[in-house]
Structure 1
């Protein structure tokens, strides 16, 4: 898997698995030196993309350094300031979206769906926050669902560590077993949360379980006082894009050839919602 480490006071992920450098969390005190360090790292390791989430106030600076804005997340910081996703393509081939028409159709389909007004879990199912006792079952569900994934969610140690830090995992249970999962990765410092890691076992798809998970997550984040929620969803997935559209999220951009998921480097859509 790719490595997560610090440059100065900022957090990056990098490696050949996703073939990129990802600036996960910027400390503004590291500007502009971190840009040179990411360039050097990408050149040294022959990565084909750098992508970043940074305050909008840095947009012009990143543009001057060869980045383009792929998405904007309104009210990302403290429910007030916007974030921009700035990307630099070091290999021109990676910047070409050969599935552009299909991705446009996915968004059009999702946006045509009406928001969920009244819905509930099927009889015999329940949703709860996962605990340490669920970790083995969680890892099995993720292992069965994803051929590849940008983070090691099939690893029990990773699940345990992140559960102890800033991620709340939610599960749909049937007969005492997890049949669908998701997670809320919370940035308490800036009051935002990434709704991510959705997985449903194949025998239980088509029951609206992901929508019910997202509804439960939204409610829990409101209770915690989190102001903004967002997700990075596979651009080719009708299902997950429809889930977020129907749950009141707004589309705000696409990351081209960005993430190693389900066996290949795929483009990703970003959706957000003010809670």
Structure 2
């Protein structure tokens, strides 16, 4: 498994996926922190490598089961900006998780009336319009049809729901390159919410991932969003921690919850 680095200037952070944390990687991390002074550093690594990160001043913030080809990823972070380390919604986050954990809804009785399918090449403008309508701010450029099309041609799967040919709901699965995938870019037109559309879109994404030999999925959800956290919890995802002020979405930097699912052991509702 290859190590991957990302200097994410838009979200003022360095994100690295380091299944093999050699000393040269540690030295590189120290140099990047000195050079770029990011507000936040996020490192995904394995448990055996974690002491090296602790020595660099990072601490465990969350984990992600199955991320590295079925093995757990441990997410270590540090904050070079003190304000970035302080959650603006910690109490609200707790209230959301409490409500989600108390939910007992049975998805087996849910239904919907809209066709769900893989996106077609001529539908990316319509998909971009949906994202423009739903997200005033977003960490990636989902407003650009060209960006979306290029994503689909590289490591993304897009599933959409339509009403009379118009896209009214969508989500994607991003192949991490580590035999795991992120369920992301989830959106439903406000006029169609409350109809369980997203549940069925994600279930189709999970089926598509299994066909590609990807058995572990995860979702990084806005900690303040009752709806999105409820959706993945009902679909059998398990909460594994909160990333403070992780990225810019909707109202600025927001806390994000980690949810994971083994698609083979828990592959449906």
TM exceeds 0.5?
Answer: yes
For residues 47 and 115 of structure 2, the distance between their equivalents in structure 1, rounded to whole angstroms, comes to 40
Contact kept? 1:145, 1:199, Cα under 8 Å = yes
Aligned partner (choices 30, 36, 58) of residue 36 of structure 1: 30
Contact kept? 2:19, 2:68, Cα under 8 Å = no
Aligned to 1:113: 103
Aligned to 1:267: 255
For residues 36 and 74 of structure 2, the distance between their equivalents in structure 1, rounded to whole angstroms, comes to 21
For 1:187-238, what per-residue CA distance to the aligned partner results, in whole angstroms no more than 9, with x for missing partners? Answer: 3x42101000101111111111111111211222122221210010000000
Aligned partner (choices 202, 210, 213) of residue 190 of structure 2: 202
Structure 2 unmatched runs, 5+: 264-269
Aligned to 1:174: 163
For residues 141 and 225 of structure 1, the distance between their equivalents in structure 2, rounded to whole angstroms, comes to 30
Residues 137, 107 of structure 1: CA spacing in aligned structure 2 closer, same or farther, 3 A cutoff?
A: same
Aligned partner (choices 52, 56, 60) of residue 65 of structure 1: 56
Residues 119, 191 of structure 1: CA spacing in aligned structure 2 closer, same or farther, 3 A cutoff?
A: farther
For residues 252 and 117 of structure 1, the distance between their equivalents in structure 2, rounded to whole angstroms, comes to 22
Deviation at 1:60, TM superposition (A): 1.4
Tell me how large the CA RMSD over aligned residues is: 1.8
For residues 145 and 134 of structure 1, the distance between their equivalents in structure 2, rounded to whole angstroms, comes to 17
Contact kept? 1:116, 1:247, Cα under 8 Å = no
Contact kept? 1:42, 1:50, Cα under 8 Å = no
Contact kept? 1:42, 1:48, Cα under 8 Å = no
Structure 1 unmatched runs, 5+: 1-7
For residues 106 and 35 of structure 2, the distance between their equivalents in structure 1, rounded to whole angstroms, comes to 45
Contact kept? 2:216, 2:262, Cα under 8 Å = yes
Structure 1 stretches of 4+ moved >4 Å: none
Deviation at 1:248, TM superposition (A): 0.4
Deviates further, 54-63 or 206-215: 54-63
Aligned partner (choices 14, 17, 34) of residue 21 of structure 1: 14
Instruction: List aligned pairs for 1:78-157, cutoff 5 A.
Output: 78-79=69-70, 81-114=71-104, 116-123=106-113, 125-157=114-146
Aligned to 1:219: 207
Find the residue that maps to 2:115 and give its secondary structure.
strand
Does residue 183 (structure 1) correspond to residue 176 (structure 2)? The answer is: no
Matched positions, count: 260
For 1:22-53, what per-residue CA distance to the aligned partner results, in whole angstroms no more than 9, with x for missing partners? Answer: 22x3363552233123313432xxx3111122
For residues 140 and 173 of structure 1, the distance between their equivalents in structure 2, rounded to whole angstroms, comes to 13
Residues 116, 61 of structure 1: CA spacing in aligned structure 2 closer, same or farther, 3 A cutoff?
A: farther
Contact kept? 2:119, 2:158, Cα under 8 Å = yes
